[in-house]
Structure 1
Amino acid sequence: MTDASPDAARKKSLVLAAIFLVAVTIPISFTGPAVAIPAIGADLGGSVAALTWIVSGFMLAVGSSVMLGGALADQFGRKRMFKIGMAGFTIASLAIGFAPSVLVLDLLRGVQGVSGAIALSAGFAALAQEFEGPARTRALGLIGSGFGIGIAFGPIIAGGLIATLGWRAIFFATAAAGVFILAVGAPRLSETRDPDATRIDALGAASFTAMLVSLIFAISEGPSFGWGHPLVIGLFAAAGLLFVAFITIERLVARPMLDLSLFTYARFVGIQALPVAVAYSFVVPLFLLPIRFVRVEGMSELQAGLMLLPLSAPIAIVPFLAAHLARRIPAGLLASGGLLVSAAGIVWLAAIPPGAAPLAFMAPLALAGIGAGIPWGLMDDLAISVVPKERAGMATGIFGTMRVAGETVAVAVVGAVLAAFVAGALPAAGIGTMDELALAVASGSFEEAARMAPHLPAPAFAAAYGTAFRLTMLIAGGITFAAAVVTFVALVPRPVRRRRRGRRMLEIEA
């Protein structure tokens, strides 16, 4: 019987508040520092590649560790791994605030990302044990809102801290949040584990991490080295071989990190399409638009932040509302409908040319944000609901991996695609550094592009960027639409006609 006493309700509220704060803090930790890169570079120096890994390295560490975190939580206990993960995250955040060089900072960001992934997986799995039924749906909807708040408002929060206290304050603030979570929320978690768990799938974890690292490096370095460069080809080949190795290992081990049999269920496959769609319909614009607003449209950082509000603000509200609507409307129907709305917003955004009035962005951004916010509040609960309760750690690990790794891959892919479209749209430059020129234009550095190709007229750079942005957004919208179709087919109950005793009877497919 569920304990409905005031003390039990207070305990559950504190647990929910702690994990909500984790859901806010972890995404702030990879969107916020993106704003701090110029300040960090001015203070510590470092190459462009080293500074880029301040964000990319953290995202990669989280994406490659979330699944492992779920497996660790299943075997050693959700509460124990939550405390270990949060302790590591807090110590790493504090140490980053004192980092003497970019190299040290990058290494500590990796530690911070792995620790945060373990805490996130264990926290989500622990939450699934604390709440049941509609209460669990509402709780996970609130957590989805927290994740959205962190991603959406991380750059704004970081900008305010940088302006008042300096870039190191970002990491001191996340360390303070970690101390609060450890002091208030962690002690109130109930210790649970999977009684059937035996040992960690070390080979599976190693092969998956190496595969993801190789893939991200290949995609990230392709535009600068060239897609035919031996290093890039070798990285793609290594990623492919490691993927085959990972699948083989998971088929052979007795207790795999990833239960491949889950992919035989249409509902499970449909759920994995949700974070991929949100990555392209929300995270990708969130990363691309600040560059466009500041460097192409000529806005200030404050104006750019305000321009993003129609996209980011719905993520803080809509997921919680969607969780409540799911009590009356099938979650699959809500999620697929939201993705269609988001896809429409992205396609509309693609049609806005450089130099358009700021108001032209408001409606498409609002559509994209509202549409992405609907599945955001549903997919955590859906991910857990398709597996037995005692394997909640695996469910959250797989889903968290798809979410964070999908976002990491999406950002890398879109950056490479944008640069490729820029190269195709630019007139023949007559220089030997066409890849570098395309990267400069894709990043909005038109002044640098003009120095590299002084014979090209200035409007050519804006025109090439506009063409590339439009085509890239159309691809993102197409991926979102395809995910909406997959979600509808896999998750929405639909009538099936069968003959029984000579009569046609209408049944609802489970």
Structure 2
Amino acid sequence: MAETMTRDQRLVLWIAVLASFVSFLDGTVVNVALPAIADELGGGLTTQQWVVDAYLVTLGALILVAGSLSDVFGRIRVIVVGLIGFGVTSVAIALAPTAEFLIVTRALQGVAGALLVPSSLALITANFRGPAQARAIGIWTAATTVALIAGPVLGGLSVDFLSWRLVFLINVVPIGVTLWLLAVLRQRDVRRPGAAVDWIGALLCTIGLGGAVFGLIEGQRLGWGSPLIVTTLVVGVLAFAGFIVRQALARDPMMPLSLFRVRNFWTGNVATAFIYAAIALNGLVVVVYLQEGAGLSATVAGLASLPVTILMILLSSRIGALAGKWGPRLFMTTGPLVMAVAAALLLTVNADFDYWWQVLPSMVVFGLGLAITVAPLTAAILGAIDPSRSGIASAINNAVARVAGLIAIAMLAVIVGGALDLRGFHQAAIVTAVLMAIGGIVSFLGIRNPPKETADAPPVVEKSEDI
């Protein structure tokens, strides 16, 4: 790596990795702490849902507008603001006196997190070209995967031996290092002339997601016929419909609808919605049930999914190479179906709990399916779009994945029947398996393998009328 990169490129790559690591780490570390948070601050399952979804609402709503902010104010400035905001809100969450205060600060943390991932990738694409860019993105992906290992383990250790509050302070060190590297870089920021931020679109998207999520989470408690629930659901649906209309009419839309005329792009995003909803549901349910239902410590619960991450690290690059050779369709079909089998294996969990025979087989099969799926899915979606629009295409796909997880977590109480007991755990496993199976079927029916490339021919990119 050092031989092929300049000093500035190495710094840029480290900055991009660490900035994204902060956001990814927070997504994996918080699940382990949910039972301890609910025990101390109260609120039960509803508090646990909101701790996760308050972050995802603002993150999912604003991750698209972050690209526009980078164009208007500069990528480096946006990353700096995101890092400082993430650090400040992390400290505020660690000091939270009530569940309500924690949920509000989690929402503010989601705003900061939305600035980090798209801007980090944009920083890479601005400083690398050709094969070097693909390699840099590959290194970024592999390095940020470490967060999947570090999050549950560090979170579990903090909860068991110190306090759940320290879970949210883990981010402070990588934030400080990243800010220092940005100061060392001294790179001149780049802004796109004439770029504008679609604030109306961002507001409509936030109201749409917020209204829908509030209704789905609180509907179980207040009753689905409650005027408050009906009103928030209707407002949410109407606002999100307004967001879609706005994207069709805006001069600089956050989500260019023309991209969805590309078959592999729209099909891949539909598959992403089902697959990542299942991943979010499975990740939350397993780690919480292992603590509250099976009685495992937070540390052991965090380690329980370690086989998934290990298989991801070992197999992802190899699967990506095979998908490049054979096309993504086979992998995008097979991987989710394998994960559906893994979710079904969790039905073997019973009152006489045994991790090694009841949970570990599911984790191994799930890790295999996830490794088969992720790289081909990303390649199919971004490979279908002209490279000049890969940034917004990546942001859209990231937003789809986050929003899908947000909705799955919002419906958790409905899925498990109000309580995450053994029966609720089995119901969540069934829903996870169904969502994964649908993702595989969508991929089989919709994804098309790109034409074989000759040694000298450039890749063939499927285009819409406006691309």
> TM class, shorter-chain normalised?
0.7 to 0.9
Distance 1:267 1:202 in 2: 29
Aligned residues: 453
CA distance 1:318–1:64, shift in 2 (3 Å): farther
Correspondence list, 1:253-402, <5 A: 253-350=250-347, 355=352, 357-358=354-355, 359-380=357-378, 382-402=380-400
2:213 aligns with one of 212, 216, 219: 216
- Superposition deviation, residue 466 in structure 1: 6.4
Question: Does 85-94 or 201-210 show the bigger shift?
Answer: 85-94
Secondary structure of 1:254's counterpart equals coil
Distance 2:272 2:142 in 1: 14
User: Which residue is 1:69 aligned to?
Assistant: 66
Secondary structure of 1:28's counterpart equals helix
Distance 1:381 1:193 in 2: 27
User: Which residue is 2:416 aligned to?
Assistant: 418
Contact 1:219/1:413 (CA < 8 Å) preserved in 2?
yes
Can you list the C-alpha shifts for 1:10-34, whole angstroms capped at 9, x where unaligned?
4323322332233332122133233
Distance 2:243 2:461 in 1: 34
User: Which residue is 2:430 aligned to?
Assistant: 471
User: Which residue is 1:434 aligned to?
Assistant: none
Give structure 2 stretches of 5+ with no counterpart: 453-459, 463-467
CA distance 1:474–1:397, shift in 2 (3 Å): closer
State percent identity of aligned pairs.
Answer: 23
Matched, 1:443 2:420: yes
User: Which residue is 1:484 aligned to?
Assistant: 443
Give 1:478's aligned amino acid.
Answer: A
- Superposition deviation, residue 167 in structure 1: 2.8
Question: Does 13-22 or 172-181 show the bigger shift?
Answer: 13-22
Matched, 1:156 2:138: no
Correspondence list, 1:174-189, <5 A: 174-185=171-182, 188=185
Matched, 1:493 2:450: yes
Contact 1:82/1:119 (CA < 8 Å) preserved in 2?
yes
Question: Does 70-79 or 237-246 show the bigger shift?
Answer: 70-79
Give structure 1 stretches of 5+ with no counterpart: 420-438, 445-461, 496-507
Contact 1:27/1:150 (CA < 8 Å) preserved in 2?
yes
Name the Cα RMSD after superposition. Answer: 3.2
User: Which residue is 1:81 aligned to?
Assistant: 78
Can you list the C-alpha shifts for 1:448-478, whole angstroms capped at 9, x where unaligned?
xxxxxxxxxxxxxx5x446534532442333
CA distance 1:338–1:468, shift in 2 (3 Å): closer
Distance 2:327 2:133 in 1: 16
- Superposition deviation, residue 371 in structure 1: 1.5
Give 2:21's aligned amino acid.
Answer: V
Distance 1:7 1:191 in 2: 22
- Superposition deviation, residue 38 in structure 1: 4.7
Contact 1:141/1:377 (CA < 8 Å) preserved in 2?
no
Give 1:443's aligned amino acid.
Answer: L
Q: TM-score, normalised by structure 2?
A: 0.85
2:30 aligns with one of 5, 28, 33: 33
Can you list the C-alpha shifts for 1:172-191, whole angstroms capped at 9, x where unaligned?
22122111111125753866
Secondary structure of 1:272's counterpart equals helix
Secondary structure of 1:144's counterpart equals helix
Correspondence list, 1:226-265, <5 A: 226-265=223-262
